[in-house]
Structure 1
Amino acid sequence: MNEERMQATERLQRDLKAVAATVEHPNGLCTVTASATGELKAVHLHPALLNQGPQAVGQVVTETARLATNAAVQTSFNKMALALGDGVAIDVESIAGDSPFRSTWNPVVPPKSAAPEAPAERRPRTPLVEDPDEDAYFENPFGRR
Protein backbone atom coordinates (compact mmCIF):
# COMPACT_ATOMS: atom_id res chain seq x y z
CA MET A 1 0.00 0.00 0.00
CA ASN A 2 2.77 2.45 0.95
CA GLU A 3 4.74 1.56 -2.19
CA GLU A 4 1.67 2.21 -4.34
CA ARG A 5 1.33 5.67 -2.83
CA MET A 6 5.00 6.40 -3.49
CA GLN A 7 4.60 5.36 -7.13
CA ALA A 8 1.43 7.43 -7.46
CA THR A 9 3.20 10.44 -5.97
CA GLU A 10 6.13 10.05 -8.38
CA ARG A 11 3.75 9.70 -11.31
CA LEU A 12 1.85 12.82 -10.20
CA GLN A 13 5.09 14.83 -9.88
CA ARG A 14 6.13 13.69 -13.36
CA ASP A 15 2.73 14.62 -14.79
CA LEU A 16 2.73 18.04 -13.11
CA LYS A 17 6.17 18.89 -14.52
CA ALA A 18 4.90 18.15 -18.03
CA VAL A 19 1.72 20.26 -17.76
CA ALA A 20 1.49 23.06 -20.29
CA ALA A 21 -1.45 24.93 -21.75
CA THR A 22 -1.89 26.67 -25.07
CA VAL A 23 -4.15 29.74 -25.14
CA GLU A 24 -5.09 32.10 -27.93
CA HIS A 25 -5.71 35.75 -27.07
CA PRO A 26 -9.37 36.76 -27.52
CA ASN A 27 -8.40 39.03 -30.43
CA GLY A 28 -6.78 36.05 -32.20
CA LEU A 29 -3.46 37.81 -32.78
CA CYS A 30 -1.30 35.84 -30.32
CA THR A 31 -1.04 32.24 -29.14
CA VAL A 32 1.11 31.22 -26.16
CA THR A 33 2.02 27.83 -24.72
CA ALA A 34 3.14 28.08 -21.09
CA SER A 35 3.88 25.78 -18.17
CA ALA A 36 2.36 26.06 -14.71
CA THR A 37 5.59 27.67 -13.48
CA GLY A 38 5.25 30.46 -16.05
CA GLU A 39 7.83 29.15 -18.50
CA LEU A 40 6.87 30.16 -22.03
CA LYS A 41 7.24 27.17 -24.33
CA ALA A 42 6.03 28.85 -27.54
CA VAL A 43 4.80 32.28 -28.63
CA HIS A 44 3.15 32.79 -32.02
CA LEU A 45 2.33 36.30 -33.19
CA HIS A 46 0.04 37.21 -36.06
CA PRO A 47 1.70 39.69 -38.45
CA ALA A 48 -1.18 42.14 -37.95
CA LEU A 49 -0.22 42.46 -34.27
CA LEU A 50 3.22 43.76 -35.18
CA ASN A 51 1.60 46.68 -37.04
CA GLN A 52 0.01 47.89 -33.80
CA GLY A 53 3.31 48.93 -32.24
CA PRO A 54 5.52 47.66 -29.42
CA GLN A 55 3.16 48.71 -26.60
CA ALA A 56 0.27 46.66 -28.04
CA VAL A 57 2.53 43.68 -28.76
CA GLY A 58 3.85 43.67 -25.19
CA GLN A 59 0.39 44.00 -23.69
CA VAL A 60 -1.15 41.22 -25.82
CA VAL A 61 1.77 38.83 -25.26
CA THR A 62 1.75 39.49 -21.49
CA GLU A 63 -2.01 38.97 -21.21
CA THR A 64 -1.91 35.80 -23.29
CA ALA A 65 1.02 34.43 -21.27
CA ARG A 66 -0.92 35.11 -18.05
CA LEU A 67 -3.96 33.30 -19.42
CA ALA A 68 -1.86 30.33 -20.57
CA THR A 69 -0.07 30.11 -17.22
CA ASN A 70 -3.40 30.27 -15.36
CA ALA A 71 -4.78 27.51 -17.59
CA ALA A 72 -1.72 25.33 -16.90
CA VAL A 73 -1.98 25.95 -13.14
CA GLN A 74 -5.68 25.06 -13.29
CA THR A 75 -4.83 21.84 -15.15
CA SER A 76 -2.30 21.05 -12.42
CA PHE A 77 -4.93 21.57 -9.73
CA ASN A 78 -7.33 19.32 -11.65
CA LYS A 79 -4.73 16.54 -12.03
CA MET A 80 -3.85 16.80 -8.36
CA ALA A 81 -7.51 16.56 -7.34
CA LEU A 82 -7.96 13.48 -9.54
CA ALA A 83 -4.86 11.78 -8.17
CA LEU A 84 -5.13 12.71 -4.48
CA GLY A 85 -8.82 13.42 -4.02
CA ASP A 86 -10.86 16.54 -3.48
CA GLY A 87 -10.05 16.69 0.24
CA VAL A 88 -6.32 17.03 -0.39
CA ALA A 89 -6.95 19.50 -3.23
CA ILE A 90 -9.02 21.66 -0.88
CA ASP A 91 -6.23 21.52 1.71
CA VAL A 92 -3.66 22.55 -0.89
CA GLU A 93 -5.88 25.44 -2.03
CA SER A 94 -6.20 26.59 1.58
CA ILE A 95 -2.40 26.79 1.78
CA ALA A 96 -1.49 27.95 -1.74
CA GLY A 97 -4.60 30.00 -2.47
CA ASP A 98 -7.49 29.41 -4.82
CA SER A 99 -6.92 27.93 -8.23
CA PRO A 100 -6.83 30.57 -10.99
CA PHE A 101 -10.28 29.82 -12.39
CA ARG A 102 -11.87 29.56 -8.95
CA SER A 103 -10.56 32.91 -7.72
CA THR A 104 -11.58 35.77 -9.95
CA TRP A 105 -11.69 35.69 -13.68
CA ASN A 106 -9.44 38.46 -14.96
CA PRO A 107 -10.87 39.66 -18.25
CA VAL A 108 -8.42 40.64 -20.92
CA VAL A 109 -8.37 44.34 -21.77
CA PRO A 110 -8.44 44.84 -25.55
CA PRO A 111 -5.64 47.02 -26.94
CA LYS A 112 -6.58 50.65 -27.47
CA SER A 113 -7.09 51.60 -31.09
CA ALA A 114 -5.98 54.91 -32.57
CA ALA A 115 -9.50 55.95 -33.65
CA PRO A 116 -12.17 56.40 -30.98
CA GLU A 117 -15.22 54.20 -31.39
CA ALA A 118 -18.57 55.77 -32.19
CA PRO A 119 -21.12 55.38 -29.40
CA ALA A 120 -23.73 52.74 -30.09
CA GLU A 121 -27.20 54.01 -30.89
CA ARG A 122 -29.77 53.33 -28.21
CA ARG A 123 -32.96 51.73 -29.36
CA PRO A 124 -36.11 52.16 -27.32
CA ARG A 125 -36.84 49.16 -25.16
CA THR A 126 -39.70 47.10 -26.47
CA PRO A 127 -41.83 45.31 -23.94
CA LEU A 128 -41.25 41.57 -23.73
CA VAL A 129 -44.95 40.87 -23.19
CA GLU A 130 -47.42 42.32 -25.65
CA ASP A 131 -50.48 41.77 -23.45
CA PRO A 132 -51.62 45.29 -22.36
CA ASP A 133 -53.12 44.13 -19.06
CA GLU A 134 -49.99 42.21 -18.02
CA ASP A 135 -48.53 43.64 -14.82
CA ALA A 136 -44.96 44.82 -15.53
CA TYR A 137 -43.89 43.88 -12.01
CA PHE A 138 -44.46 40.18 -12.77
CA GLU A 139 -43.03 40.30 -16.26
CA ASN A 140 -41.00 37.19 -17.08
CA PRO A 141 -37.91 38.20 -19.10
CA PHE A 142 -37.08 34.54 -19.82
CA GLY A 143 -40.40 33.44 -21.24
CA ARG A 144 -41.47 35.34 -24.33
CA ARG A 145 -44.90 34.72 -25.72
Structure 2
Amino acid sequence: MPTFNDPVADADELREAVRGLAHATRTIDDPTAIYAVLGSISSALASLSQSLHQLGEFHDGPTRKQAWMNGDAYAGRAASYRESWELHRAAEMIHQVAECVDRAHEIEATIAYDIRDYPSFAPVQRSTHQPGMSL
Protein backbone atom coordinates (compact mmCIF):
# COMPACT_ATOMS: atom_id res chain seq x y z
CA MET A 1 0.00 0.00 0.00
CA PRO A 2 1.54 3.35 -0.95
CA THR A 3 2.39 5.69 1.91
CA PHE A 4 2.37 8.92 -0.16
CA ASN A 5 5.00 10.34 2.21
CA ASP A 6 7.83 7.78 2.44
CA PRO A 7 9.71 7.73 -0.87
CA VAL A 8 11.94 4.80 0.13
CA ALA A 9 9.00 2.55 1.09
CA ASP A 10 7.01 3.59 -1.98
CA ALA A 11 9.99 2.96 -4.28
CA ASP A 12 10.39 -0.51 -2.75
CA GLU A 13 6.70 -1.16 -3.35
CA LEU A 14 7.06 0.00 -6.96
CA ARG A 15 9.93 -2.44 -7.46
CA GLU A 16 7.86 -5.33 -6.11
CA ALA A 17 4.76 -4.34 -8.08
CA VAL A 18 6.70 -4.17 -11.36
CA ARG A 19 8.34 -7.49 -10.56
CA GLY A 20 4.87 -8.98 -9.95
CA LEU A 21 3.61 -7.53 -13.22
CA ALA A 22 6.55 -9.02 -15.10
CA HIS A 23 5.67 -12.39 -13.61
CA ALA A 24 1.92 -12.04 -14.26
CA THR A 25 2.33 -11.08 -17.91
CA ARG A 26 4.40 -14.14 -18.82
CA THR A 27 1.17 -15.65 -20.09
CA ILE A 28 -2.08 -13.87 -20.91
CA ASP A 29 -5.17 -15.96 -20.23
CA ASP A 30 -7.61 -13.10 -20.76
CA PRO A 31 -6.62 -10.89 -23.71
CA THR A 32 -9.29 -8.36 -22.78
CA ALA A 33 -7.18 -7.56 -19.70
CA ILE A 34 -4.43 -6.12 -21.89
CA TYR A 35 -6.31 -2.83 -22.32
CA ALA A 36 -6.55 -2.29 -18.55
CA VAL A 37 -2.93 -3.35 -18.00
CA LEU A 38 -1.68 -0.90 -20.63
CA GLY A 39 -3.77 1.87 -19.09
CA SER A 40 -2.25 1.22 -15.68
CA ILE A 41 1.28 1.03 -17.10
CA SER A 42 0.72 4.33 -18.91
CA SER A 43 -0.36 6.01 -15.69
CA ALA A 44 2.55 4.48 -13.78
CA LEU A 45 5.06 5.70 -16.37
CA ALA A 46 3.69 9.24 -16.12
CA SER A 47 4.11 9.14 -12.33
CA LEU A 48 7.60 7.66 -12.66
CA SER A 49 8.63 10.44 -15.05
CA GLN A 50 7.27 13.03 -12.62
CA SER A 51 9.14 11.40 -9.72
CA LEU A 52 12.45 11.45 -11.59
CA HIS A 53 11.97 15.12 -12.51
CA GLN A 54 11.25 15.90 -8.85
CA LEU A 55 14.39 14.08 -7.73
CA GLY A 56 16.35 16.02 -10.35
CA GLU A 57 14.81 19.29 -9.13
CA PHE A 58 16.07 18.50 -5.64
CA HIS A 59 19.61 18.68 -7.04
CA ASP A 60 18.80 21.80 -9.08
CA GLY A 61 18.04 23.87 -6.00
CA PRO A 62 20.01 25.00 -2.97
CA THR A 63 21.09 21.44 -2.24
CA ARG A 64 23.67 21.68 -5.03
CA LYS A 65 25.47 24.40 -3.08
CA GLN A 66 25.47 22.23 0.04
CA ALA A 67 26.73 19.05 -1.65
CA TRP A 68 30.18 17.85 -0.67
CA MET A 69 32.27 15.05 -2.03
CA ASN A 70 35.30 13.96 -0.02
CA GLY A 71 35.37 17.43 1.55
CA ASP A 72 35.43 19.15 -1.83
CA ALA A 73 32.48 21.52 -2.39
CA TYR A 74 33.27 21.93 -6.10
CA ALA A 75 33.24 18.16 -6.69
CA GLY A 76 30.01 17.87 -4.70
CA ARG A 77 28.30 20.57 -6.76
CA ALA A 78 29.55 19.00 -9.98
CA ALA A 79 28.26 15.57 -8.94
CA SER A 80 24.91 17.08 -7.95
CA TYR A 81 24.68 18.79 -11.35
CA ARG A 82 25.50 15.54 -13.18
CA GLU A 83 22.94 13.62 -11.14
CA SER A 84 20.27 16.23 -11.87
CA TRP A 85 21.06 16.07 -15.58
CA GLU A 86 20.79 12.26 -15.66
CA LEU A 87 17.53 12.21 -13.69
CA HIS A 88 15.88 14.81 -15.94
CA ARG A 89 17.16 12.96 -19.01
CA ALA A 90 15.77 9.65 -17.71
CA ALA A 91 12.43 11.34 -16.94
CA GLU A 92 12.19 12.59 -20.52
CA MET A 93 13.05 9.14 -21.89
CA ILE A 94 10.34 7.59 -19.76
CA HIS A 95 7.93 10.25 -21.01
CA GLN A 96 8.71 9.13 -24.57
CA VAL A 97 8.18 5.48 -23.56
CA ALA A 98 4.86 6.48 -21.98
CA GLU A 99 3.77 8.04 -25.28
CA CYS A 100 4.49 4.73 -27.06
CA VAL A 101 2.49 2.82 -24.44
CA ASP A 102 -0.34 5.36 -24.82
CA ARG A 103 -0.44 4.70 -28.56
CA ALA A 104 -0.44 0.93 -27.96
CA HIS A 105 -3.26 1.42 -25.45
CA GLU A 106 -5.29 3.32 -28.06
CA ILE A 107 -4.68 0.59 -30.64
CA GLU A 108 -5.61 -2.14 -28.15
CA ALA A 109 -8.99 -0.45 -27.74
CA THR A 110 -9.73 -1.23 -31.40
CA ILE A 111 -8.95 -4.96 -31.18
CA ALA A 112 -11.64 -7.59 -30.61
CA TYR A 113 -10.90 -11.15 -29.58
CA ASP A 114 -12.77 -14.30 -30.59
CA ILE A 115 -13.68 -15.98 -27.31
CA ARG A 116 -13.64 -19.39 -28.98
CA ASP A 117 -9.85 -19.10 -29.08
CA TYR A 118 -9.72 -18.79 -25.29
CA PRO A 119 -11.20 -21.76 -23.40
CA SER A 120 -11.59 -19.71 -20.23
CA PHE A 121 -14.13 -17.52 -22.08
CA ALA A 122 -16.14 -20.31 -23.68
CA PRO A 123 -19.71 -20.63 -22.41
CA VAL A 124 -20.09 -23.32 -19.80
CA GLN A 125 -22.43 -26.17 -20.78
CA ARG A 126 -24.65 -26.93 -17.84
CA SER A 127 -26.79 -30.00 -17.53
CA THR A 128 -30.38 -29.68 -16.43
CA HIS A 129 -30.09 -32.91 -14.45
CA GLN A 130 -30.65 -32.39 -10.73
CA PRO A 131 -29.04 -34.80 -8.26
CA GLY A 132 -31.57 -37.28 -6.91
CA MET A 133 -33.85 -36.96 -9.94
CA SER A 134 -34.21 -39.77 -12.45
CA LEU A 135 -33.59 -39.13 -16.11
The TM-score normalised by the length of structure 1 is: 0.33
Name whichever structure is richer in helix by fraction: 2
Q: Which of the pair has the greater relative contact order for Cα pairs under 8 Å at 6+ separation?
A: 2
